[in-house]
Copies of this chain bind each other. A is one copy, B any other.
Amino acid sequence: MATDNTLTIAGIQQRCFTDKKRSWKQTEQHIQTAVAQGAELIVLQELHATQYFCQIESTDFFDLAEPIDGPTFHFLSQQAKQHQVVIVGSIFERRAPGLYHNTAIVLERDGSLAGFYRKMHIPDDPGFYEKFYFTPGDYTETQGFHPIDTSVGRLGVLVCWDQWYPEAARLMALRGADMLIYPTAIGWDPSDDTEEQNRQLDAWIIVQRGHSVANNLPVISMNRVGHEPDPSKQSQGIEFWGNSFMTGPQGEFLQQAQHQEETVLIAHLDRKRCEQVRRIWPYFRDRRVDAFKELSARYLDAKKNL
């Protein structure tokens, strides 16, 4: 199946449980399916070890957090080593008392930690109270929008809310990412009407395919699936919309999941094609880097002298 120029990528879209061991068990079965199909890289969704606890703000949920080399790392490390695959996972990271992150971890084939990425953009909306739980990732010489080198390529790992920001995708591309990877947990408010739900789902797909096109890079976006109730019972909970997908470097779909089923997506990425697309569509040649300074501004109110 795999040749020198082809990389077999698997993505796991699953339901999650309050009990980490039960979630891991589910993930383990899907990893076996992926490995049986020749996967060399396996991408999991955001916070795959637990239900999405950010529906309410409760200090009790900080008990779910673990250090980077905690139990979820050990589970994934063992899986990576056993199957000789690279795994992109996601944890609720306890960095220090009172200091927590939403962190993607990347395991090398030998089970070692290839690198980690702390979610830089943190959302906060009704039912998604992430600013209560997660400190945004640091911006340093090695942390922030830095891809992670692995034996299957340089992985531009970002997390969920980051996916709405073209700046994040671009910085990963400028730092040599071979692909963009988005572990995600996004869903519908069941009280929205179908038209609005469809617009939201479409927008989520479009903006990420847009990053694929603008950077001539494959995108792997893996999302949660299934309904999770609101512990406070004040809302109807979240219907995680699945629809995980993978694109080639022109934003073209390689695979796409449905909105309700657990799925193992498999794609065979043609690396030669990725290089070729950059030759045909040479966006990087022409960027007006002399005129981009103001991208670092919050907003440009100059005309009104504010």
A94 within 8 A of B: no
Copies of this chain per assembly: 2
Residue-wise, chain A 278-293 has the 8 Å CB interface mask toward B (1 for contact) of 0011111011111111
Given the complex of chains A and B, what is the CA–CA distance between A134 and B19 in angstroms? 62
Within 8 A of B (CB), among A155-208: 161, 164-171, 174-176, 199-200, 202-203, 206-207
Task: Output the least CB separation between A194 and chain B (Å).
Answer: 13
Interface segment, one of A116-124, A221-229, A232-240: A116-124
Q: Beyond A210-B207, A214-B207, is A145–B291 a contact (Cβ under 8 Å)?
A: yes
Task: Establish whether residues A176 and B214, one from each chain, have CB atoms under 8 Å apart when the complex forms.
Answer: no
Q: Which residues of B contact A166 (CB under 8 A)?
A: 166-167, 169-170, 210-211, 214
Number of interface residues of A (CB under 8 A): 61
A294 within 8 A of B: yes
Interface segment, one of A8-16, A264-272, A296-304: A296-304
Given the complex of chains A and B, what is the CA–CA distance between A211 and B174 in angstroms? 19
Task: Output the least CB separation between A189 and chain B (Å).
Answer: 10
Given the complex of chains A and B, what is the CA–CA distance between A291 and B167 in angstroms? 9
Given the complex of chains A and B, what is the CA–CA distance between A202 and B247 in angstroms? 12
Task: Establish whether residues A250 and B203, one from each chain, have CB atoms under 8 Å apart when the complex forms.
Answer: yes
Task: Establish whether residues A174 and B292, one from each chain, have CB atoms under 8 Å apart when the complex forms.
Answer: no
Task: Establish whether residues A174 and B139, one from each chain, have CB atoms under 8 Å apart when the complex forms.
Answer: no
Task: Output the least CB separation between A149 and chain B (Å).
Answer: 8
Q: Which residues of B contact A292 (CB under 8 A)?
A: 167, 171, 295-296
Task: Establish whether residues A202 and B252, one from each chain, have CB atoms under 8 Å apart when the complex forms.
Answer: yes
Q: Which residues of B contact A288 (CB under 8 A)?
A: 120-121, 136, 139, 144, 165, 167-168
Chain A positions near chain B (C-beta within 8 angstroms): 120-123, 125, 136, 139, 141, 144-145, 149, 161, 164-171, 174-176, 199-200, 202-203, 206-207, 209-214, 250-252, 280-284, 286-303
Q: List 8 A-B contacts (CB under 8 A).
A: A120-B291, A123-B286, A136-B288, A171-B300, A176-B299, A176-B300, A203-B250, A203-B251
